[in-house]
Amino acid sequence: MSDDNHTLPYPDSAVEHPTLVIPGKVDAAVPAKRRRWPWVLLVLAVLLALLVVAAEFIARSVLPGIVRGMVIEQLDLPADQQLDVEAGGILLPQLIAGRLDELHLSSDRVTLEGITGAADVTATGIPLRGGDLASANGTVRIDQAELTTLLARSELPIESLALEAPNAIASGSINLFGTSIDVSLTLTPGAKDGDVTMTPVSATLGGVVLDAQQLNDRFGSLAAPFTQTQQLCIADQLPAGLTLTGLKIEGTEAVIDVDVNGAIATDPALLDPGVCP
């Protein structure tokens, strides 16, 4: 026999040898399942987020209508009253907690106790299961005709009113020494202790412009109504739950700032007209 073809010896069973892995024979089932878990969780998270967004959208669609209906009923406003309602923050947590953080109500034209104007009110801490508001305040914008009506009981001779920011120009007539004299007063409006204040700046008598000092010099105590700040209660022309906190002229409108008693949501008496002393 030729020695050219050598016979390889059998492997020594006492020595460890590496195992050869044949490609395509590895069981990949378990690792594949494990790799699918992150995708399943991601899909579930996306579905949950979509549900939350949908619920928030529904809440924002439904809530304004509910609030609008309640306000219109409480204030006895017309059924077709234009009233925009906007809630602040994310609604779902607030609805679950039973308390809204903030509500913004606005109307381009609304009539309360005979006063018509544009209203803008912001309320905070609104309990959904009943209770007082944490706070509320707002502004009412009225034109010169409405302001004239509001000041009708003033001692000042106001037959007509023109608004020229920051003042109001009141025109009328007075009886002085038995003679009727046309008078025009330049007044700066404001608020104090819930009342309207009107501070005279100057007066025009018979075509002559006089400041406060000149009026005092000429007419003495008779000029007091035209030189001293006049204070006028208008509480009986507002719901009792509203307190006047500011009044100023902006452009051709009078801007009235009001503070709202939080108990107005639970006490019907605060919706009735207030009382002047």
Q: What is the pLDDT of residues 156-200, one digit of tens each?
A: 778 888 999 999 998 888 776 777 778 888 899 999 999 999 998
Which tens digits make up the pLDDT trace of 7-41? 555 555 555 555 544 454 445 455 555 566 676 67
Residue 227 covered by a domain: yes
pLDDT in the model for residue 36:
63
Cis amide linkage into residue 166, ω under 30° from 0: yes
pLDDT in the model for residue 159:
84
Which tens digits make up the pLDDT trace of 194-236? 999 999 888 887 778 887 778 778 777 777 777 888 899 999 9
One domain, residues 99 and 165 = no
Residue 156 covered by a domain: yes
Residue 120 covered by a domain: no
Residue 106 covered by a domain: yes
pLDDT in the model for residue 152:
81
Q: How far is CA 38 from the centre of its chain?
A: 45
pLDDT in the model for residue 157:
78
One domain, residues 160 and 226 = yes
Q: For residue 171, give the 3-state DSSP assignment.
A: strand
CA separation for the pair 78, 95 (Å, rounded): 28
Candidates 210, 226, 245; CA nearest to 158 is: 226
One domain, residues 108 and 149 = no
CB-based contact 86:103 (threshold 8 Å)? yes
Residue 218 covered by a domain: yes
pLDDT in the model for residue 26:
47
- From 112, 135, 159, give the residue that closes a domain: 112
What are the residues whose beta carbons fall under 8 Å from the beta carbon of 137, sequence distance 6 or more?
121, 122, 245, 257, 258, 259, 260
- From 61, 96, 112, give the residue that closes a domain: 112
Residue 106 has pLDDT above 60, yes or no: yes
One domain, residues 161 and 90 = no
The domain tally of the chain equals 2
| E strand or H helix that includes residue 181 | strand 179-192
Residue 23 covered by a domain: no
Token pair recorded at residue 8? 């390889």
One domain, residues 34 and 90 = yes
Token pair recorded at residue 101? 């953080």
Residue 249 has pLDDT above 90, yes or no: yes
CA separation for the pair 28, 16 (Å, rounded): 26
CB-based contact 261:239 (threshold 8 Å)? no
Residue 173 covered by a domain: yes
- From 92, 112, 132, give the residue that closes a domain: 112
Length of the chain: 277
For residue 200, give its domain range: 145-237+246-250
223 half-sphere exposure, CB direction, 13 A CA radius: 19
What is the DSSP code (8-state) at residue 132?
-
Strand partners, 251: none
Find where tokens 């209906």 sit: 69
CA separation for the pair 133, 100 (Å, rounded): 10
One domain, residues 100 and 149 = no
**Mean of the per-residue pLDDT values of the chain:** 82
More confident residue, 267 or 157: 267
Residue 255 has pLDDT above 80, yes or no: yes
Candidates 136, 133, 120; CA nearest to 84 is: 120
Mean pLDDT of 34-54: 66
Token pair recorded at residue 21? 């892995």
CB-based contact 139:255 (threshold 8 Å)? yes
Residue 277 covered by a domain: no
